[in-house]
């Protein structure tokens, strides 16, 4: 399973709100909703988030093996 838990911590660490992502960086509210609900997002979106947040992929997503959840 892919988890976006690191994304939320990265936002907190960088003091950036979802409102800022939507208003200033034009990330759609549906993308934010997909992140909140651990639904799939495209690698293009992951790339965009990494650029916006100036971070590595592992600061956005992590893989959790099926047997661990």
pLDDT digits (tens, 9 = 90+) for 17-45: 999 999 999 999 999 999 999 999 999 99
Q: Do the beta carbons of residue 40 and residue 2 sit within 8 Å?
A: yes
User: Hey, where are the domains in the chain?
Assistant: 2-68
Instruction: State pTM to two decimals.
Output: 0.89
Q: Rounded to whole angstroms, how far apart are CA atoms 25 and 4?
A: 19
pLDDT in the model for residue 57: 97
Query: Residue 4, exposed/middle/buried by CB under 10 A (0-12, 13-18, 19+)?
Result: buried
pLDDT in the model for residue 21: 97
Q: Which of 1, 10, 15 is closest to 50 using CA atoms?
A: 10
The answer, yes or no, to whether residue 69 has pLDDT greater than 70, is: no
For domain 2-68, give the fold. Answer: 434 Repressor (Amino-terminal Domain) (1.10.260)
DSSP classification of residue 2 = E
Q: Which residue is associated with the tokens 């208003």? A: 23
């Amino acid at each position: 399973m892919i988890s976006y838990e690191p994304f939320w911590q990265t936002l907190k660490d960088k003091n950036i709100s979802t409102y800022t992502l939507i208003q200033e960086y034009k990330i759609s509210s549906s993308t934010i909703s997909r992140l909140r609900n651990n639904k799939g997002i495209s690698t293009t979106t992951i790339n965009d988030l990494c650029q916006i947040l100036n971070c590595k992929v592992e600061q956005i997503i992590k893989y959790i093996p099926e047997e661990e959840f």
